[in-house]
Amino acid sequence: MSSTDIEEVRNKQVILRDYVYGFPKESDMHVGDSKIKLKVPEGSSAVLVKNLYLSCDPYQRTRMKKIEDGGRIVSFTPGSPLTGFGVAKVLDSGHANFKEGDLVWGLTGWEEYSLINSTESLFKIQHTDVPLSYYTGLLGMPGLTAYVGFYEVASPKKGEYVFVSAASGAVGQLVGQFAKLLGCYVVGSAGSKEKVDLLKNKFGFDEAFNYKEEQDLVAALKRYFPEGIDIYFENVGGKTLDAVLLNMRDHGRIAVCGMISQYNLDEFEGIKNLIHIIYKRVLVQGFSVTDYYHLYPKFLEFVLPQIREGKIVYVEDTAEGLENGPAALVGLFSGRNVGKQVIVVAHE
């Protein structure tokens, strides 16, 4: 059967209308219909997938604006569907590593079906005794991010004082649990009482606080860290970072994963206390999970038994249906989500 004979099916998509400035709104995206053939073009090494779960991640905000020189980070294309991490089922494959029926996670489109040409960021899912959606979070990009950011970038030692911001998020909740497993003292900040309760009662943080209720973040950190902070896992930037800099210990480390408080600003906030990295000989390391994919098998080996034994738990916030994708994504920036924000596109 030649590809021209194959029937096209409807393909619902979440499309970016135009570059976004300021706080993103649901109306910056629209849900539209396209057509797609459920076959890989002849001779191509692409993979055709049915998307099951999509991941809402803060870094996607950056891709919504026109980026002049963001290194490896490239803008979304207005008029086209968003892309991001997701879990999908292979319907057809021109690539030797993937075959029909395989479950995969990696970079895909915000649509029902995607033709994936760049298979180098696609991982075959081998373990299905855990929730499939975990491969958008705990067992996917955010999980590996937490793992490498904490263990590789922050060089943690037992007994050290660890602070995590956006601590109930997709990455933060894991950093805190990893730190506890290693025997660190861990404090997290989050933006609601519900999240603070989760940090203390579900994820086992030693302490947690609602940053919105603190008039003076410097004083709050001094209260929780009278001896200072050895490791700061940075997810938010801005005022929190400035307050942390005044509370670091000698030879402290700041693993810079994200700065969500800055993504919607036209002009970034100025950080005033950087001079303290000289006084305290602090290391500040920006990192990206994309440099650490080779550690994914090692990460799985570490984390899967912990999940099975209940030593690592994970909280997801699930939106049903692609239609609810825009609201779910936008909600990250007001902190509406509790835990990892996932979109269910289809239940297999």
Per CB under 8 A, residues contacting its own copies are 69-73, 237, 241, 246, 250, 256-259, 262, 267-288, 291
CB nearer its own copies, residue 58 or residue 84? 58
**Residue type for position 161:** Y
CB nearer its own copies, residue 157 or residue 251? 251
CB nearer its own copies, residue 250 or residue 323? 250
DSSP lists the bridge partners of residue 33 as: 12
Pairing of strands 47-55, 122-124: unpaired
Distance of CA 344 to the CA centre of its chain: 16
Alpha carbon separation from 324 to 54, 63, 98, 327 (Å, rounded): 11, 20, 30, 6
How near is the Cβ of 177 to its own copies at its closest, in Å?
23
Quote the CA–CA distance of 34 and 27 in Å, as a whole number: 19
CB nearer its own copies, residue 259 or residue 312? 259
How near is the Cβ of 162 to its own copies at its closest, in Å?
19
CB nearer its own copies, residue 332 or residue 344? 332
How near is the Cβ of 200 to its own copies at its closest, in Å?
28
How near is the Cβ of 63 to its own copies at its closest, in Å?
11
How near is the Cβ of 146 to its own copies at its closest, in Å?
15
How near is the Cβ of 125 to its own copies at its closest, in Å?
27
Place of tokens 């409807």: 10
CB nearer its own copies, residue 58 or residue 81? 58
- The answer to whether 253 touches 283, Cβ cutoff 8 Å, is yes
Spell out the long-range contacts of 123-128 with Cβ–Cβ below 8 A and sequence spacing 24 or more: 123/296, 124/97, 124/98, 125/87, 127/300, 127/304, 128/103
User: CA torsion sign, 260 to 166 to 292 to 97?
Assistant: negative
What is the CB-side half-sphere exposure of residue 156 using CA atoms within 13 A? 28
How near is the Cβ of 228 to its own copies at its closest, in Å?
9
DSSP lists the bridge partners of residue 106 as: 86, 122
CB nearer its own copies, residue 92 or residue 160? 160
